[in-house]
Chains A and B, each alone.
Chain A
């Protein structure tokens, strides 16, 4: 329950319509894209400007009320679930594209703008913004920055962090911070821009971003390589990289994923294949031709059953769109879909795929695998039923072991989804005790009263590492 005087002050800042504490608003902001997590906030506020965000933060700091800033809530780490109540700050009204600087090739945008709307506009100007999370049709730029979203083009073009040049953010005490700018080079002090990207709303509330744009590639080709053997498909991924070819997109889908995606998209995907690779290369048309031919030879050497090149742009786009639906489409199989985000060095992708299979078998759970194989980022996804506590427990055990395996192979617990609530117990496995200590020090410097997205990133307790039974 919020202090009525505080609620009054928030209403005065944003207007009667833009502060809500009725049951409807609370329920509708108690979840995000993550399964099995829900927690009601005490109120919801919709600011319209940096000045309003600053005023709101001053009030919240005075009353020591926590706040979760939120875009569309499509994240998958529990990052925007208000686990300690307080205020949810929805950034949707701050959705304006402030400037496209055609001389410097930058765009300045407010955090609430939908990613797909942004990229469409940028492309209409003959420019290119490469980060493309699968949720781009609904996710916001601010959310992408907070979670450092990846996507299908990460392999060649990098992820969100590689395109954020400058930020405006409001600190926990309401002060406004500006970092970076329209600069390609800037080493003045610590890189606060990079620090805020991927900080999951725990350090500051992002209110504006300056993003780097690049010239669009001149040509693009899309290929499907189909395999009767999952391991062969995964090995192909490592071989392509070994051969010094970096495709724009290199995705893997295993058989259960192929089937559900085809049920949704009705593209006539090969349902009898154990795996398919979706490969795109872009750039100078001649170089694209050359790379695609070399890739085709590698696929065939690794015993691909069939290799097909999309004949039209439309066909290629349909394939990519279908791949983006994979996570949600898997919900056709069982009521609850738990998607994870284990990432390994690219040379170890085939080993990781095998380990996931072994672990799923060991715990008797059903795990489909798809993901950005080219950057070592796999999304093993358990299809289960939240009402079956015993099975969910086995799924959790299997995932703990999958993270363990990823770290053993030189990988990480999350490649692009973030830590949030879900991975918090595992963070120390990756960064070590000293890493946690430094991170906590940074958190204290930005947010001494722990008002910004509390309960995220740092767990009360680190999970004990699973002892792997290699019997």
Chain B
């Protein structure tokens, strides 16, 4: 099928107008490689890496072509033959193999980052201009990183949070890896919000990284290894749902069925697991007993940037919006093209800074036009990217970027001080 309906949905095609920069073009290139018409050379790899992986082409496709899966396979094939330069190999190994999958090392990363941020080292680094040694995209990211922490959600509130009132169901929180280092507060609030809405929340401590970054970067074997660990970790938790608060992680978990297809031991379990994965906003809205959310400071304008993987992967775009609309006193303003990728796309904004910057600039034109006081998102990558956007092309004093969960938590009245209880215990 080569109808081209995907072309207008594709951010890189929109920026360049070039067929090879479109889903139809990229699939044609993949097929040409498979057919032996084209070599999987450097140019081919670069074109595949130029794709954001936002999967906006998937809902646009009447033929239901699974572009995301094709892209992962292509990147996996490229990685099998990749000839990375030594430093790149080191960085990839460090992140994919040595850090992301390991809880203790992530904590160490969080602590180090926190030390860097709090000790004055950051000031020293910025002051001495040592940051100039890094590429501009990294420098920009360094500035917007939130306060990191070596204390994850389990350290703060333990592994079980009881429901408020009659429990509706027992659910498990997927805490993520980067999410739990950079946004562990959001994880805590997610659990509190779920408890407030009537869910008993368990947080299995042996869960690992979801593997999304691995899968998207062509490290499918590593992604499968992580999936196995997670399937084991959640297997006996006696839960109805696995709840995610990061669009990227959620979409990856929801695809375990596809990822583990053909695996003798885990295939069936993976399908069943995937069917129970749900985003926090979907669960709250779908079966939760929602508290009355009220805007404390009077009326505010709020807008929302979709997480591509939540929207195009998990096909959820209505739930976060409906939740925001429920906040009394807040008026929801739809941002033009909120369904378009912000350019964050995992580590895309670091690996492809030029295209990411172009996309972000266009995104911010629309964001600024909403004149919203809050710009909400559902994914840590998008959150950081939008913070960067507001800093570069907007007015940080007038527009605050937040995770939907944090926004709702702040407005659910006097919150149950679970975090305080956790700290004591």
Contact = CB atoms under 8 A, between A and B. Distances in A.
Interface string B42-55: 01100100000000
B10 to A, nearest CB: 11
A24 B20 contact: yes
A138 B2 CA distance: 12
A114 interface: yes
Nearest to A76: B3
B61 to A, nearest CB: 7
B146 interface: no
A73 B64 CA distance: 20
A40 B7 CA distance: 21
A137 B25 CA distance: 17
Nearest to B20: A28
B63 interface: yes
B4 A74 contact: yes
A72 B7 contact: yes
Nearest to A117: B8
Contacts of A35: 1-2
Interface size class of B (residues with CB under 8 A): 20 to 34
Nearest to B46: A24
B416 interface: no
B17 A31 contact: no
Contacts of A25: 20
Nearest to A73: B4
For chain A, give the interface size range. Answer: 35 or more
Nearest to B26: A28
A89 to B, nearest CB: 13
Interface stretch (A49-57, A208-216, A321-329): A321-329
B4 A325 contact: no
Interface string A249-292: 00000000000110110000000000000000000000000000
Contact of B3 (A23, A135, A263, A332): A135
Interface string A23-53: 1110111111111000010000000000000
B63 A27 contact: no
Contact of B2 (A23, A31, A40): A31
B19 interface: yes
A388 interface: no
A138 B64 contact: no
B25 A332 contact: no
A90 B16 CA distance: 13
Most-contacted residue by chain A among B39, B44, B64 (CB, 10 A): B64
A325 B62 contact: yes
A74 B3 contact: yes
A355 B359 CA distance: 52
Contacts of B4: 33, 72-74, 135, 138
A456 interface: no
A449 interface: no
B37 interface: yes
Interface string B11-24: 00000011110000
B5 interface: yes
A329 B8 contact: no
A337 B1 contact: yes
A93 B64 CA distance: 30
A24 B2 contact: no
A92 interface: yes
A264 B19 contact: no
Contacts of A29: 19
Given A30-B28, A72-B7, A24 B37 contact: no
B28 A28 contact: yes
A108 to B, nearest CB: 21
* Contact residues of B: prevailing secondary structure: loop
Contact of A332 (B2, B28, B44, B63): B63
Given A27-B37, A28-B28, A73 B62 contact: no
B32 interface: yes
A92 B17 contact: yes
B3 A24 contact: no
Given A28-B25, A30-B28, A138 B5 contact: yes
A331 interface: yes
Contacts of A72: 4, 7
Nearest to B60: A137
A328 B63 contact: yes
Interface in A45-80: 72-74
Contact of B37 (A32, A40, A95, A330): A40
A137 B1 contact: no
B3 A93 contact: no
A116 B9 CA distance: 13
Contacts of B32: 23, 27
B38 interface: yes
A408 interface: no
A22 interface: yes
Contact of B8 (A73, A138, A261, A332): A138
B29 interface: yes
A23 B39 contact: yes
Contact of A328 (B1, B19, B20, B29): B1
A72 B63 CA distance: 18
Interface string A336-378: 0100000000000000000000000000000000000000000
B35 to A, nearest CB: 9
Contact of A114 (B8, B18, B25): B8
Contacts of A260: 62
Contacts of B38: 23-24, 27
A22 B25 CA distance: 14
A325 B18 CA distance: 23
Given A24-B20, A28-B19, A137 B8 contact: yes
Given A23-B38, A28-B29, A72-B7, A328 B62 contact: yes
A32 B25 CA distance: 10
A328 B61 contact: yes
B332 to A, nearest CB: 18
A138 B7 contact: yes
Interface in B186-236: none
Query: Which of B4, B7, B41, B61 has the most chain A CB atoms closer than 10 A to its own CB?
Result: B4
A295 to B, nearest CB: 28
Contacts of A93: 17
Contacts of A137: 5, 8
Contact of A329 (B2, B18, B62): B62
Contacts of A30: 28
Interface string A137-148: 110000000000
A24 B7 contact: no
Contacts of A92: 17
Contacts of A135: 3-5
Interface in A371-428: none
A28, A73, A92: which has the most chain B beta carbons within 10 Å?
A28
A331 B29 contact: no
A232 B17 CA distance: 45
Nearest to B5: A328
A44 to B, nearest CB: 9
Contacts of A27: 20, 28-29, 32, 37-38
Interface of A: 22-25, 27-35, 40, 72-74, 90, 92-93, 95, 114, 116, 135, 137-138, 260-261, 263-264, 325-332, 337
23 contacts: A23-B38, A23-B41, A23-B43, A24-B38, A24-B47, A25-B20, A27-B28, A28-B20, A30-B28, A33-B2, A35-B1, A73-B4, A74-B4, A92-B17, A138-B7, A264-B62, A325-B62, A327-B62, A329-B62, A331-B63, A331-B65, A332-B62, A337-B1
7 smallest CB-CB distances across A and B, nearest first, come from A331-B63, A328-B62, A325-B62, A329-B62, A28-B20, A28-B19, A331-B1
Given A23-B44, A27-B28, A328-B61, 13 more contacts: A24-B47, A25-B20, A27-B20, A28-B25, A30-B28, A35-B2, A73-B19, A138-B7, A326-B62, A328-B1, A330-B63, A331-B62, A332-B62
